[in-house]
Structure 1
Amino acid sequence: MKMLLNGKKVGTEGREEIIVINPYTHEEIDSVPCADLNDIDTALECAREGAEKWGRVPVLERVRILEKVSSKIAEKKKDIALLLSKEAGKIYTQAEEEVDHAIGLFKEYANRLRYDYDSVLPSNEDMILVTREPLGVVACILPFNFPVELYAQKVAPALAAGNAIIIKPSVETPLSSIYLSELIIECGVEPKALQVITGHGSVVGSALASSDKIDAVSMTGSTEAGISIYVSAAKNLSRCFLELGGNDPLIIFDDVDLDTAVTEAINGRIVHAGQACCSSKRFIVQENIYDEFAGRLAERLKGMKIGDPLDQGSRIGPLIDERAAQRVEEIVDRTVKAGAYCLCGGRRFDGNFFEPTVLTGVTPAMDIAQNLEVFGPVFPLIKFKTEEQAVAIADNCTYGLSSGVISGEIQRAIRVARQLDAGNCTINGTGLYRTHDMPFGGHRKSGLGTEGLYATLDEFTKTKTYVWKGAAIR
């Protein structure tokens, strides 16, 4: 596929080629060009022009185009889901769900734009009008794991607000971003207001973040990459919205229905083979049920089908590449050497598949129980005795993205949830829970700012206040 630059499709001519590999078959799907600094400069210049043109499009016309985009994505749902499944190795039903989120996001931002944009403030003598205006140019840096949903989480509100966008997709999953952008331009968005620049983050992401032509950066990725982006953007005081890493706790008390708790734990961990920032990654289980919970969890996981993402029976697909699977394997081996016991799984196979793994005997002092985020289907079980211990273990972490508390006593669950230092906490569920309208963002090293229907549109605009003295409406 070709990247989208200056309203044109630009291929690999004279540029390095990035090969996109199917994580399941290990076969080449397609290739994209690796943008150079000249390409990035061109994109930045065009984006300023695109911002001027798109920002002048009337609000109701933007609404109409966003609604058309939603319908177009729905029309192409199966094609997009198949492309996503192939480039990311994602279970096909999960890919369809991700496309559904994108359909909903474009439609919902259109609705919000229609009914909730400017406001008039009360005044005894004067009229005060507060308007929201576009920031200008927004750089959207996407991860490999949810390239369609997170594309929509960033692009829909940025376009709704009247901004121009430069998208930098992951090198592993760039195809869905290009495909979606082509559809959106067909629906009437100014081509210079929506560009896709493919290439390595160390070059493209850094150049975008440090440019004085960028007004905001919205990035989802690792904490290390987010800090680098933040430092680069700081010299221009560009706004940064960063959704970063997490090592999210799930606290399970001994008054729960065990089968329900096991189901929640599994559903909160194995989405996209455990490659989700906000999936549960530390399972803090009360000592009275620890052994039985571990046994039931292991039995359920042993019977789970791992394999072809396009097979309707598969529950877990491959990791994004062999290097990712090797890293998970190294972490599991290191944790076992530190004293944990591998109750099930623990094996990498066929390159980048990894068995769902239950680790018992994990202590609060181990890396995996604190700041070591595992992007794979690994369940480290940490034992606790008292409520206070559970909270201390959960908060002994530099991250604070999502969390969960499962308890039969609602007051205790609420009490514990209030003490957890995380941006989101689900009671009787996992931190993977997310709706379009709820604010979503982390504390501490899990990020800056929030995403969501009632947050992102505000963050992608700047306010301007007009005062008409003596013009109060009575």
Structure 2
Amino acid sequence: MSTSSHPVDPSKAIEHTQLLIDGEFVDALDGKTFETLNPATGAVITQVAEGGAADIDRAVQAARRAYDHGPWPRMKPDERAAAIWRLGDLLLADAEEIGRLETLDQGKPYSQAVGGYVPAAAALFHYMSGFATKLEGSTIPISAPGRYHTYTQREALGVVGLIVPWNFPLNIAAWKLAPALAAGNTVVIKPAEATPLSTLRLGQLCLEAGIPPGVVNVVAGYGSTAGQRLAEHPLVDKVSFTGSTATGRRILEAAKGNLKRVTLELGGKSANIIFADADIEAAIAGSTDGIFNNAGQACAAGSRLYVHDDVYDEVVAGMAEKARQIKVGDGFEPDTEIGPLVSLEHFDRVSGYLDIGRGEGEVVTGGARVGEQGYFIEPTIFAGAAQDSRIVKEEIFGPVVVASRFRDTDEVIAMANDTRYGLSSGVWTRNVSTAHTVASRIQAGNVWVNTYGVFDAAMPFGGVKESGWGREMGHEVMNDYTDVKTVCVNIDG
């Protein structure tokens, strides 16, 4: 395929493929590298340094020195805020290059990366920079005998390990890095082995923004080695992980050694509910985007569709028509709307669920591979599957939605809550009472009403049940990157 029609040259050399430790790009101690592949073609993009346990050790030691002895935690709050703001500015200035890396490595459309995801990441740094000057405590009147001045203050935790997934590499790195830095922590980031390139580039931008060496370290490598060591490391005070629920359990097990703080943003099987009184055209459009965006590789994707019996046929037919019109292709092609799945391994996993789904329900549309090169799958709608079927119960993490009928509010809330997950949900209705009733009764950390998949730096995001602990973004996230110290002073002492 010629690159002449591309808005950017995908074949341009990759600048940063080494580990970033203590302000320097270095090889792994054992010299190992691994291939990172273009999911649109299966071709090798470049070789990346493969960090192991020993590399995590030296990155953690660098972060520990930077926290215990370096300037970052001791900077004036406005100085730290300015550096984080500059990082947001540098992201915007670097949008074409970092967007190119996202498309090459993860597959998402270049137009979306440059026009949407990079600006969103920059906005996150801009928003979170303000918290560096707003970490406030409170004075507390106490009733103990005597006279006391008692107050609290918020402090950084220390060294934080950030384990980032492959579905939104840049943005979820920003979700974690920005509040960690605003609080004055130092960090070691372990990007997903499938998508390390944009995070390594982000590390370079941190240095350019004036964030001191050792404050941000990036170690690419595998979860079973680098990720395991980061989660268990005795000098790491907290680990924040986004990924599967199964891996989240392993993170917890590894973290128990020094009882480090843990934030987990895990899997989802989100219910998206359309009532008969909804704006059906808007519900069809929003629900289609809510499952097929990013090729369905989103933990918050609306993968369980519950539609009132009165409008079920209309909604399913409308979504099927929109699904058939979606342009699936290489992210560098200007008209591509969704790209490939991230890897051959994941492609095989989702393809396995398509086989399962054919035996559990009816294929309304899709259900097949697109082309013979790359890891592309058609936007797929299943219907008629039982509530206890695997395609309804298990997270597929691909462009696959399962449609089911309901007749009343109690029934659909019971169906929606019949899952071990509790990340996100959608409600489509013109009835204000219905909207608030469902929002209050549904077991999910996020509820979108008459929309789906709205994210903003000011909006907390996270789940309940087996979808995780803690929150990303908004002011709530600062509770997960700071500790509270209570000081009690005897005034008469």
The answer to whether TM tops 0.5 is: yes
Identity of aligned residues (%): 34
Give RMSD over aligned pairs.
1.7
TM-score after normalising by structure 1: 0.95
**Equivalent position SS for 1:139:** strand
| 1:106 matched residue in structure 2 | 125
| 2:375 matched residue in structure 1 | 352
* CA–CA separation in structure 1 for the residues paired with 2:293 and 2:112: 8
Which 10-residue stretch deviates more, 307-316 or 160-169?
307-316
Does 2:464 correspond to 1:443? yes
* CA–CA separation in structure 2 for the residues paired with 1:247 and 1:9: 39
* CA–CA separation in structure 2 for the residues paired with 1:37 and 1:452: 30
Deviation at 1:15, TM superposition (A): 2.8
Work out which of the residue numbers 18, 21, 39 in structure 2 matches 1:23.
Answer: 39
Does 2:130 correspond to 1:73? no
| 1:11 matched residue in structure 2 | 27
* CA–CA separation in structure 2 for the residues paired with 1:219 and 1:365: 29
Task: Report 1:178-189 matches (<5 A).
Answer: 178-189=200-211
Residue type of the alignment partner of 2:160 = V
**Equivalent position SS for 1:354:** coil
Which 10-residue stretch deviates more, 24-33 or 102-111?
24-33
Deviation at 1:467, TM superposition (A): 3.6
Does 2:158 correspond to 1:136? yes
Checking the alignment, whether the CA contact within 8 Å between 2:279 and 2:428 is kept in structure 1 is no
**CA 1:120 to 1:415, structure 2 compared with 1: closer, same or farther past 3 Å?**
closer
User: What do residues 16-55 of structure 1 show as CA deviations (whole Å, max 9, x unaligned)?
Assistant: 2111111113222222111222222212222210112122
Checking the alignment, whether the CA contact within 8 Å between 2:297 and 2:398 is kept in structure 1 is yes
Does 2:202 correspond to 1:177? no
| 1:391 matched residue in structure 2 | 413
**Equivalent position SS for 2:356:** helix
* CA–CA separation in structure 2 for the residues paired with 1:120 and 1:331: 52
Checking the alignment, whether the CA contact within 8 Å between 1:369 and 1:382 is kept in structure 2 is no
Checking the alignment, whether the CA contact within 8 Å between 1:438 and 1:452 is kept in structure 2 is yes
Does 2:232 correspond to 1:204? no
Deviation at 1:346, TM superposition (A): 0.5
Deviation at 1:367, TM superposition (A): 1.6
Checking the alignment, whether the CA contact within 8 Å between 1:246 and 1:373 is kept in structure 2 is yes
Which 10-residue stretch deviates more, 217-226 or 124-133?
124-133
Task: Report 1:46-445 matches (<5 A).
Answer: 46-52=62-68, 53=70, 54-96=72-114, 97-114=116-133, 116-121=134-139, 123=141, 126-338=148-360, 340-349=361-370, 350=372, 351-370=374-393, 372-430=394-452, 432-445=453-466
Does 2:65 correspond to 1:44? no
| 2:4 matched residue in structure 1 | none
Deviation at 1:375, TM superposition (A): 1.2
* CA–CA separation in structure 1 for the residues paired with 2:378 and 2:138: 57
Deviation at 1:7, TM superposition (A): 2.8
* CA–CA separation in structure 2 for the residues paired with 1:348 and 1:290: 27
Deviation at 1:470, TM superposition (A): 4.2
| 1:463 matched residue in structure 2 | 484
**CA 1:453 to 1:417, structure 2 compared with 1: closer, same or farther past 3 Å?**
closer
User: What do residues 249-306 of structure 1 show as CA deviations (whole Å, max 9, x unaligned)?
Assistant: 0011112232211101111112211101111110011112212211111111112211
User: What do residues 64-96 of structure 1 show as CA deviations (whole Å, max 9, x unaligned)?
Assistant: 211211111111111111111111101123212
* CA–CA separation in structure 2 for the residues paired with 1:169 and 1:454: 24
Work out which of the residue numbers 43, 48, 72 in structure 2 matches 1:32.
Answer: 48
* CA–CA separation in structure 2 for the residues paired with 1:264 and 1:193: 40
Checking the alignment, whether the CA contact within 8 Å between 2:28 and 2:52 is kept in structure 1 is no
* CA–CA separation in structure 2 for the residues paired with 1:434 and 1:36: 34
TM-score after normalising by structure 2: 0.91
* CA–CA separation in structure 2 for the residues paired with 1:82 and 1:197: 21
Work out which of the residue numbers 475, 479, 484 in structure 2 matches 1:454.
Answer: 475
* CA–CA separation in structure 1 for the residues paired with 2:410 and 2:167: 34
User: What do residues 384-416 of structure 1 show as CA deviations (whole Å, max 9, x unaligned)?
Assistant: 122111111111100000011111222112112
Could you list the runs of 5+ residues in structure 1 that have no partner in the other structure?
A: none
Checking the alignment, whether the CA contact within 8 Å between 1:120 and 1:127 is kept in structure 2 is no
* CA–CA separation in structure 2 for the residues paired with 1:469 and 1:14: 56
**Equivalent position SS for 2:224:** coil
**CA 1:208 to 1:14, structure 2 compared with 1: closer, same or farther past 3 Å?**
closer
* CA–CA separation in structure 2 for the residues paired with 1:297 and 1:183: 41
Deviation at 1:198, TM superposition (A): 1.1
Deviation at 1:159, TM superposition (A): 1.1
Residue type of the alignment partner of 2:457 = H
Which 10-residue stretch deviates more, 32-41 or 99-108?
32-41
Which 10-residue stretch deviates more, 52-61 or 118-127?
118-127
